[in-house]
Amino acid sequence: MIARLNWTLLALFLLSMIANFTVRPDPTVPNIEILPDMAHSVAYASFSPNPILPDGKTMQPPVPGTLPRGFAPLHYQATPEDALRAAAELKNPIDPQKAKERGAVVYQNFCTPCHGGALRGDGAVALHGFPAPPNLLGEKSMKLAEGQMFHILTFGQKKMPSYASQLTMNDRWSAIAYVRSMQNAAAAPAPASEAAK
């Protein structure tokens, strides 16, 4: 009796050992699913092939000329000639009063490191060896058209990097409105009470 049981157990052991080496799960096939409910959508997944659309892709490329939200076409190149063209053609589309507030935040976060809090080109980075930017309250910068500043923020100018990838167009215009308002404040004659001090 005991001997027969031992033989049976040995046979079962050998069978399970053989099964262990011969029966392999196929990783390319999903496991058995019991009641998958709505796990599988009938809609085509974005990257799946599509038998209905002409190019066989589910995700369609945007129509030529499509612009992402918040972007506007900008037909300029990173050249000094186009900077002058931008100066003549581009106007700040945002109401300067509204833009100033947002612009102060943008300036504080993105421009202060080099241009300094008071626009004088003495930001922390400039004080530690980065070529100092010009004083934005200086004569030359005061004369810059807003369109040219937009070209500078979008494409960069010499050591000044482009801010197109960090700042939306609206934020660039806001920063410019802030710079212009600071320039106007610096250019305005001091009020009588200030002058008397």
Residue 163 CB, shortest distance to ligand HEC, in Å, is 5
Helix (H, G, I), strand (E, B) or coil at 106: helix
Q: State whether residue 177 is helix, strand or coil.
A: helix
Q: Count the site residues for ligand HEC by CB under 6 A.
A: 25
Distance separating alpha carbons of residues 138 and 130, to the nearest angstrom: 19
Structure tokens at 122: 């003495």
String of contacts with ligand HEC for each residue 83-122, x by CB under 6 A? ---------------------------xx-xxx-------
CB of 131 to ligand HEC, least distance (A): 5
Q: Exposed e or buried b for every residue in 15-42, given b needs 16+ CB within 10 A?
A: eeeeeeeeeeeeeeeeeeeeeeeeeeee
Tell me: does residue 158 bind ligand HEC (CB under 6 A): yes
Q: Which is nearer to ligand HEC, 45 or 91 (CB)?
A: 91
Q: Which of 83, 94, 99, 175 binds ligand HEC (CB under 6 A)?
A: 175
Q: Quick check: 50 binds ligand HEC (CB under 6 A)?
A: no
Asked whether 120 and 135 are in contact (CB, 8 A), the reply is yes
Tell me the C-alpha distance between 172 and 156, whole Å: 12
Total Cβ atoms within 10 A of residue 116:
20
Nearer to ligand HEC, 96 or 113 (CB): 113
C-alpha 86, offset from chain centre: 23
Binder among 40, 75, 140, 197 for ligand HEC (CB under 6 A): 140
Is 125 a binding residue for ligand HEC by CB under 6 A? The answer is yes
Residue 136: burial class (beta carbons within 10 Å; 0-12, 13-18, 19+): buried
Q: Which is nearer to ligand HEC, 44 or 110 (CB)?
A: 110
141 binding ligand HEC? (CB under 6 A)? yes
Contact between 44 and ligand HEC (CB under 6 A)? no
Which parts of this chain interact with ligand HEC (CB under 6 A)? 110-111, 113-115, 125, 130-131, 133-134, 136, 140-141, 144, 149, 152-153, 157-161, 163, 175, 179
